[in-house]
Amino acid sequence: MEKILTADGSYTCRHPGYMENYHAKEGARAEAFAKFVRPGRLADRLRAGPVRLLDVGFGLGVNARAAIEVARETGAHFLHIDSVEADHQALTRARTLNPDCPVLSSLENTGQWREPFAEIHLYNTDIREVGLTLPGDFDLIFHDPFSPMKNTECWTVELFAHFKTLLRADGMLLTYAEADAIRAGLFQAGFSVGLTPPAPPHRGGTLAVPLPAQAPDPLDPEPFTHPPKNIAYHDFTLKEDGKTIRARREAQVRTLASAEEEGSANRRIGGAKGEIGGKANAEHRTSNIER
Ligand SMILES: C[S@@+](CC[C@H](N)C(=O)[O-])C[C@H]1O[C@@H](n2cnc3c(N)ncnc32)[C@H](O)[C@@H]1O
């Protein structure tokens, strides 16, 4: 396994199956604070009362350890973290990168870790299995799988809808993803969706709060109610593989593209017929279905 030193001095590595890095090269630790801990207002929440966090995709434990740091510094109320990780090798990789970390060694030995202001329970399984059995009332969900193109089963309307049932009324889901397909999925699952601010060099991401609450800096839901922005990923049984889920969405995208093409050709013909001696009303549109 190759250790990758990121810009803030923290380490990450590449997943050999997904062929993606676990974190941005701009800084693994800084990314955890910029995209999850700060926009989730974890410190404020901990000052107000105990916090329950669902950490989806524990990976190398960077997000979870950033949250623990805040709980220790705040020193007010207790932080309970349920971390979920499908890959049994993730903890081994995390330990190789951080051999002296007592949190990781305790998780490796017992699946749990606890100190006065925080604890973690690690579930080594698919979020779609354990997510259905965890008791709700989470204040925060840090949703950090690999990219939608590679880890598609984690980005569906049905999983987001389940997350909504796990969140408290004033809870919040945070993710680094910015794609329309993901934001559409969150809208369709019953969330108010907003932007997390960029924290250069890190880009902004997305946050979502269960309706009827309103997200800070909310996105207008209207453009996400019709194509192409409303084409989300679906996993109707919460058991499908990523390839099937991707193929379904790609088929929808192709159908829309050919309908657009046909409509545009019809308009060209209509325009040419309607304009006696005039120029054809040719339309050169670039489809922006995939972004
Ligand atoms: C980008 S990495 C997460 C990095 C991590 N949050 C950290 O702070 O180090 C994505 C993680 O999601 C895990 N994952 C992918 N699909 C999953 C699933 N269906 N259920 C649970 N974890 C999953 C991957 O194995 C990987 O460890």
Q: Is the pLDDT of residue 242 over 50?
A: yes
Average confidence (pLDDT) over 275-283: 33
If one compares 173 and 267, the residue with the highest pLDDT of the two is 173
**Residue 290, pLDDT score:** 32
Cα 46 from Cα 52, distance rounded (Å): 10
**Residue 136, pLDDT score:** 86
Ligand 1, pocket residues at CB < 6 Å: 22, 32, 57-63, 84-87, 90, 126-128, 144-146, 151, 153-154
Among 27, 33, 22, 24, smallest CA distance to 58 is for 22
Distance 276 CA to ligand 1 centre (A): 61
Distance 43 CA to ligand 1 centre (A): 24
Please tell me the residue having the least CA distance from ligand 1 atom 4.
59
> Which segments within the chain are labelled E, that is strand?
4-5, 11-12, 14-15, 20-21, 51-56, 79-84, 112-115, 118-123, 138-143, 167-175, 191-196, 205-210
Q: Is the pLDDT of residue 224 over 50?
A: yes
**Residue 266, pLDDT score:** 78
Q: Is the dihedral of CA 200, 80, 49, 168 positive or negative?
A: positive
The number of angstroms, rounded, from the C-alpha of 52 to the middle of its chain's C-alpha atoms is 18
Ligand 1 pocket, mutate which of 85, 98, 159 (most atoms under 8 A from CB) = 85
Q: Are 193 and 157 in contact (CB under 8 A)?
A: no
- Kindly state the percentage of the chain with pLDDT values over 90: 81
Confidence of residue 267 (pLDDT cuts 50, 70, 90): confident
Q: Is the pLDDT of residue 289 over 60?
A: no
Within 10 angstroms of residue 149's Cβ, the number of other Cβ atoms is 13
Q: Is the pLDDT of residue 271 over 80?
A: no
Confidence of residue 273 (pLDDT cuts 50, 70, 90): low
For 155-184, letters b (16+ CB in 10 Å) and e give bbbbbbbbbbebbeeebbbbbbbebbbbbb
Cα 251 from Cα 197, distance rounded (Å): 33
Confidence of residue 286 (pLDDT cuts 50, 70, 90): very low
Cα 164 from Cα 136, distance rounded (Å): 9
If one compares 182 and 283, the residue with the highest pLDDT of the two is 182
Distance 55 CA to ligand 1 centre (A): 9
**Residue 287, pLDDT score:** 31
Distance 86 CA to ligand 1 centre (A): 7
Average confidence (pLDDT) over 182-210: 95
Please tell me the residue having the least CA distance from ligand 1 atom 26.
59
Confidence of residue 215 (pLDDT cuts 50, 70, 90): very high
Q: Is the pLDDT of residue 202 over 90?
A: no
Domains of the chain: residue spans and CATH: 4-225 (3.40.50.150)
Distance 254 CA to ligand 1 centre (A): 30
Q: Are 229 and 223 in contact (CB under 8 A)?
A: yes
Residue pLDDT, tens place only, 148-192: 999 999 999 999 999 999 999 999 999 999 999 999 999 999 999
